[in-house]
Amino acid sequence: MSKTAVLYRMATDEHICPFGLRSKDLLKRKGFSVEDHKLTSRAETDKFKEKHGVETTPQAFIDDERIGGYDELREYFNKGEAGQTGTTYTPVIAIFSVAALMMLAYQWAVSGDLLSIRSLMLFISFSMIMLAVQKLKDLYTFTNSFITYDLLAMKWVRYGYIYPFMEAYAGIGMLAQLPALLVAPISLFIGTVGAVSVFKAVYIDKRELKCACVGGDSNVPLGFVSLSENLFMIGGGLIMLLI
């Protein structure tokens, strides 16, 4: 006999509650047949909340017992907290992994030579461009984090706003194979300042900070991964000047 759960969730013409859909999906994945009751207006939603003495929807019921909303459902099924919590390297891993796959795809399509200096330069440029985009999406939030550890940005706050554009320019310049003297000095400059800043903050001052490398709202800890971004910039600049 299939298990049955009753779910009340908001689904109006103006708003479909994402947590209601997540609750429905979770219940189905746990083997429940779901009686899906849609609250199709604000008045109907308010009436439901008043009747059951709750402040939010969705609300799930199992065996006539109210379990609660999506978070309470996850707790009921021992699923842990939803979403990203605590420090994580996931954003940086995702960017570097996709950059590597883009490099492999491009090289496979163009030359079939997957392991070369050009492959390394493509990986560095793709990584720099993607990291720059993460910063550019919210410059204010990025700079709020960046100026707490970058040595130049501490003294000149406007550098924090310029930095992502310089990183994007250097990455695009490497990708386009512009003359080395137009690109390499920028990459070397921001990479060197960044590397020294991260090294000082993490390994000398022993400060525990969040890295602004993927934007100011991330939970990526400042450390080796952050240092790697700057070392890539330095390496890319040196390769451009030497080959």
Going residue by residue through the chain, which has 243 residues, state the pLDDT in tens, using 9 for 90 and above: 568 999 999 999 889 999 999 999 999 999 999 999 999 999 999 999 999 999 999 999 999 899 999 999 999 998 877 655 556 778 888 888 999 999 999 888 887 777 788 889 999 999 999 999 999 999 999 999 889 889 999 999 999 999 999 999 999 999 999 999 999 999 999 999 999 999 999 899 888 877 777 776 777 777 777 788 899 899 999 999 988
Q: Looking at residue 87, what is its pLDDT?
A: 67
What is the C-alpha separation between 142 and 164, in angstroms, rounded? 9
Tell me, what amino acid is at 101? L
